[in-house]
Amino acid sequence: MDLRDSAEEAAFRAGLRDWLARSVPVTTGTAGAPARGRWDDVDAVRSFSAALHEAGYAGLTWPVEYGGRGLSPVHQAIYLEESARAEAGEHIGVIGLGMVGPTVIACGSPAQRAWYLPRILTGEIIFCQGFSEPEAGSDLSAVRTLARRDGDELVVTGRKVWSSYAHLADHCLLLARTDPDATRHRGLSCLLVDLRTPGVTVRPIRQMTGEAEFAEIEFDEVRVPLDAVVGEIGDGWRVAMTTLAHERGTFGFTLTARLEVAFRRLVATARARGRDTDPLVRDQIAARYVELEGLRWTNRRALAELRRTGTPGPETSVVKLRWSQAHQRLTALAVLLTADGRPDGWDRYWRREMLRSRANTIEGGTSQVLRNVIAERVLGLPRSY
């Protein structure tokens, strides 16, 4: 198993680093600390998204016939890794690029591909994902949002929750039940819904950080044309699993690269506070570095398996589980280092990061669910009921 870049991949990485060095705006908050959040300035995010598209870094793995570059998942992993290291902003259509677009390519109709794909690439259309519900979070087969047929339309009623960036989005990939008599995985359908349709209400959810990255979406007798169904009516489970497979494919590289950035900031904080010579602090920092390296090489193994089989392996669940714990430990240590009565930009930055990290073991698959996945798929233990 060769975990190194090929010559072509190394050249791609070098070119990307050069472009990022020239294109990523330098922004800092108070006292030189990082600026808060990745979506503080939506206009700046849109501008950077346009630059990404123009430079050919949007839709790297999409087929050329749909506006992409037809590159391998390895190139996408390199992009995620290097852009996180450069502290670049995300494409404003990050969910459309990484999840909805590939789903439309794999399962959508020719008309859907022709309309949505070019607009996702440019950021003209911004998607969110409408899967989780108040009583159907980790268990998507329990969704209750109903889409009943009325002539050549579906009438949608229900509520979705924890939809990332829904307050910025204008479209939603919605998982709904089209057969109320069916149970579990059967009777579900995926729809492409315009959030500007009458009857849709989006309510941002305020987090304890004071920010609102997520929202709940309420559908009150929302009329959606039948041609908005992705795949066939009743085929929603397969379509949804296609979406989730793309979400998990190379996302570990983004998480690990962000942890690497946080680690660099942790070391800088220890030095600025004069704690870098304290043996107990050094021991804790070394432990955080070991966790970071373990995640980095697990990602490489996962990518090698993805390249070999074309399917993400269970390593993705391992990375998500261990990353969430590692990030929480790192931010907690940073808060301790800045709890010295000297409030400044770094103090506020780490308190915000620590509060935000509490959600890491819930979002994107709870730690409990991920442990079940690892137990069943890696250790071969019997299924938990």
User: In this structure, are residues 252 and 295 in contact, taking their beta carbons and an 8 Å threshold?
Assistant: yes
Domains of the chain, start order: 7-92 (1.10.540.10), 127-234 (2.40.110.10), 250-377 (1.20.140.10)
The predicted structure's pLDDT at residue 378: 80
Split at pLDDT 50, 70, 90, the class of 29 is: low
Q: Using the predicted structure, report yes or no on whether residue 171 has a pLDDT greater than 90.
A: yes
Split at pLDDT 50, 70, 90, the class of 254 is: confident
Q: Is 312 exposed, middle or buried (0-12, 13-18, 19+ CB in 10 A)?
A: buried
Element (H, E) at 102: helix 101-107
pLDDT, one tens digit per residue, over 83-94 is 988 888 888 998
The whole-angstrom separation of Cα 77 and Cα 79 is 5
Active site residues: 247
Q: What's the half-sphere exposure (Cβ side, CA atoms, 13 Å) at 31? A: 10
The whole-angstrom separation of Cα 306 and Cα 223 is 40
Phi-psi region of 307 (alpha: psi -120 to 50; beta: other; left: phi over 0): alpha
The predicted structure's pLDDT at residue 35: 59
DSSP 136: B
The whole-angstrom separation of Cα 251 and Cα 294 is 16
Residue bearing tokens 């071969």 = 380
User: In this structure, are residues 29 and 345 in contact, taking their beta carbons and an 8 Å threshold?
Assistant: yes
The whole-angstrom separation of Cα 339 and Cα 281 is 14
Residues shown for the chain:
385
Q: Using the predicted structure, report yes or no on whether residue 139 has a pLDDT greater than 80.
A: no
Q: Using the predicted structure, report yes or no on whether residue 305 has a pLDDT greater than 80.
A: no
Average pLDDT of the segment spanning 281-293: 97
| Distance between start and end Cα atoms, the chain | 37
Average pLDDT of the segment spanning 305-321: 77
User: In this structure, are residues 68 and 59 in contact, taking their beta carbons and an 8 Å threshold?
Assistant: yes
The predicted structure's pLDDT at residue 180: 87
Q: Using the predicted structure, report yes or no on whether residue 40 has a pLDDT greater than 70.
A: no
Torsional sign, CA 156, 161, 167, 169:
negative
Average pLDDT of the segment spanning 224-245: 91
The predicted structure's pLDDT at residue 185: 81
The predicted structure's pLDDT at residue 39: 57
pLDDT, one tens digit per residue, over 53-84 is 999 999 999 999 999 999 988 898 899 889 98
